[in-house]
Amino acid sequence: MTGPNGASEEDWGVNYRALNDLFSISQNRRDSFLYEIQVQMVEIYNEQVRDLLLSDGSRKKYPFLLGLCDLIMHILTI
């Protein structure tokens, strides 16, 4: 979703393209609107949540907890 490391703009993944568009639009409208943009990028892998924007390269892991109250089962009969 992000594209290869060191990729040119042509090779960017969907995340970087969307963020680039978001910042371009906010910059073009800066005379009319004031934007406050906050971004969080995480990866969920092997039941671990990793912060992808940490600059120290540690990719800190957070526990991924999903309670039973968050689960929904839909039974579909066709």
Q: What local confidence, expressed as pLDDT, does residue 69 receive?
A: 58
Residue 35 in domain: yes
If DSSP codes are grouped into helix, strand and coil, which group holds residue 51? strand
Residue 65 in domain: yes
Query: Domain tally for the chain?
Result: 1
pLDDT digits (tens, 9 = 90+) for 40-73: 888 888 877 788 777 775 666 666 555 555 556 6
Cα separation, 34 vs 41, in Å, equals 23
Q: Does pTM surpass 0.85?
A: no
Q: Which domain holds residue 18?
A: 9-70
Q: What local confidence, expressed as pLDDT, does residue 13 receive?
A: 84
pLDDT digits (tens, 9 = 90+) for 5-41: 777 888 888 888 999 999 999 999 999 988 888 888 8
CB within 8 A of 44, min separation 6: which ones?
Answer: 50, 64
